Amino acid sequence: MDRLDTEFDGNFNCFYFDVDMKNRWVWISEKTPQKYADHIREDFDREINGS
């Protein structure tokens, strides 16, 4: 996900995430516009949740 910094120029205002503290899981919120969610979905679970 290092590529995000260069592609979005440090502006992550359009990204929203939901967090489940009990199960220690983070996912892309439905509030995130689809074009942004699609852009990060491929790497997200592997890099954020370790799966």
In tens digits, the chain (51 residues) has pLDDT values of: 566 666 776 678 889 999 999 999 999 999 999 988 998 888 888 888 887
- Do residues 14 and 33 make contact, with C-beta atoms less than 8 angstroms apart? yes
Q: Across the chain, which distance is largest between two alpha carbons, in Å?
A: 33
What's the number of domains the chain is made of?
Answer: 1
Closest CA relative to residue 47, chosen from 33, 28, 34, 22: 28
Domain, as residue range, for 18: 3-49
Closest CA to 29 of 20, 9, 21: 20
Q: What pLDDT, on the 0 to 100 scale, is given for residue 22?
A: 97
Strands 17-20 and 25-28: antiparallel
